[in-house]
Structure 1
Amino acid sequence: MTVSPTTADRAAARPRARAWIPLALRALLLGTLLTFLVAPSIFEPILKPLVQDNAPAIYNQGSLFTLTLLHLRIVAIATTAAILVAVTLAILVTRPFGAEFLALSRSLVNVGQTFPPVAVLALSVPALGFGEKPTLVALFLYGLLPIFENTLTALTTLPPAVMEAARGAGMTDRQRLFRVELPLAAPVILAGIRLSITVSLATATIGSTVAARTLGEVIIAGLQSNNLAFILQGGLIVGALAVLIYDGLSALEARLRRRAGL
């Protein structure tokens, strides 16, 4: 005897089916990106109509795969430094002994937002020279604010009942910080890191104006030669990286929220 699915069964199956759609799109985007970086010549027929006669449709002044890794490396170094400084400052100003440094800390992390990255690059080159270092400074300063503000907000809005329970259990200040406060604050802190990384991925392209090895090289080469295909390649790779990393960190943030019971 065949039992037909009930309306409730069909209704429950629809959300599960819909959940596979974004996952499939992410996998498709990642697969397309990796294929393009490893074997870009496959996409030459698609890009050829965008260039003038005899102009190369695929970036030919370096390896796109290598430039992508170098681009990610710069963003990773700058973001790691920004996380260490911003989270440490936020922890400091939420302790009783450091509360008086809140205004100073806010002024420090706002420096990157006060000066545009291009201005930071221009000011850094005379002191640090051309190359990767000025770009790291610009990305570091630009990434501080969202991480600091999110960490500060997370640490100052923790459930009072949980904090009282931790004190009642005899935990020291250090134990409360690492066992209670930071685990509960992790999803909000990660949201700030996610925003910082997304902004840095796009901003890192301007580092190529001071000889840093980033995907900005592809865009600049396209502008100099009036090659729309080059510009499109650089922009789309950066955009795809931003979408994939943003989406991955969003999934991790949701998982941390579930684990923390939020």
Structure 2
Amino acid sequence: MTRAIALPTPGRLLRLLAALLLAAFLLRPSLFAPLLQPLTTNGAPAIYNQGDLLTLTLQHLQLVAMATLAAAVVAVTMAILVTRRFGAEFLPLSRSLVNIGQTFPPVAVLALAVPAIGFGEAPTLIALFLYGLLPIFETTLTGLTTLPPAVMEAARGVGMTGWQRLWRIELPLALPLMVAGLRLSAVINLGTATIGSTVGARTLGEVIIAGLLSDNAAFVLQGGAIVAILAVLLYDALAFIERRLVRTPAAARSADPA
């Protein structure tokens, strides 16, 4: 009996091609110089030459990962607390706190943070952390407050305590929505992190800013293209994880190993 072979969709092929091109460009950027040279003037370099592109990319991703992880820990903790009986009264305050990042744009946060803590990665981390709170908090809150009543009633019926219900039932069922919030936060921060270079953080924004200052469209294109491809790949990777979590039976994810 022959098994049908699943062929990759055109979208997946394009993403795979983009990933391969990105890897090739970061490892051997000089190979792409002839393609970018028409975008330069007066013999300017076609490839960014004020730093290593691979190193800048890794530093950019590290900054985004640190800020998103910190935002996830704080936002999920707050969502858990306000969905408990003892913390329900703090829901309005929590919503006000997580909305700070959306009320004040990252540029404004940087402007306020730099005089207090100086230049570098620290003010950028603060800006990205605040900007990434809202999506994770709201999706986690939605996941924890829209659980099937029958499931929760059954958990109470078998004698589970509040914390047992949280760890074995509520969080596993809410996990797909939590990952969705994490995906939005990470992708937003990936693009927003470029502004960190205006205050001395090592990000891909350096490439874009250098291109704007020297009127070198090749620099602007390669900096923007790297960020854009990374955002698409990160979005797809987290969306894949989210789909797998949705398909996985909740009972299997929340089963007691004992």
Q: Equivalent pairs: percent with the same residue?
A: 68
Asked which structure has the greater CA Rg, the reply is 1
Aligned to 1:47: 36
Could you say if the C-alpha distance between residues 83 and 165 of structure 1 is closer, same or farther in structure 2, counting changes exceeding 3 Å? same
| Rounded Cα–Cα distance in structure 1 between residues aligned with 2:158 and 2:10 | 46
Looking at structure 1, the residues matched to 222 and 182 of structure 2 have their Cα atoms a distance apart, in angstroms, of 26
Cα distance in 2 for partners of 1:62, 1:147 equals 34
- Following superposition, the deviation at residue 53 of structure 1 comes to 2.8
Contact 1:184 1:260 in 2 (8 A): no
Q: Which residue of 1 aligns with 2:154?
A: 165
State the distance in 2 between where 1:75 and 1:216 align: 13
Among 123, 137, 141, the residue aligned to 2:126: 137
Look up the match of 2:143. 154
Alignment-derived partner of residue 250 in structure 1: 239
- Offset of 1:102 from its aligned partner? 0.2
Q: Deviations over 1:34-92 (max 9, x none)?
A: 11001001111110111013100000000000000000010000001000000000000
State the shift of 1:166 in Å: 1.1
Unaligned runs of 5+ in 1: none
Moved over 6 A (4+): none
Is residue 20 of structure 2 the alignment partner of residue 31 of structure 1? yes
Q: Of 169, 173, 197, which aligns to 1:184?
A: 173
Q: CA deviation at 1:261?
A: 5.4
Instruction: Give yes or no for the alignment of 1:174 onto 2:163.
Output: yes
Q: 1:61 aligns with which of 50, 60, 80?
A: 50
TM superposition score normalised by structure 1: 0.92
Give the Cα–Cα distance (whole angstroms) in 2 for the partners of residues 127 and 153 of structure 1: 36
Q: 2:172·2:250 contact (CA, 8 Å) conserved in 1? A: no
Give the TM-score normalised by the residue count of structure 2. Answer: 0.94
Question: After superposition, where does 1:204-219 map in structure 2 within 5 Å?
Answer: 204-219=193-208
Unaligned runs of 5+ in 2: 252-258
User: Size of the alignment, in residue pairs?
Assistant: 250
Partner of 2:256: none
Distance in 2 separating the partners of 1:260 and 1:92: 26
C-alpha RMSD over aligned residues: 1.6
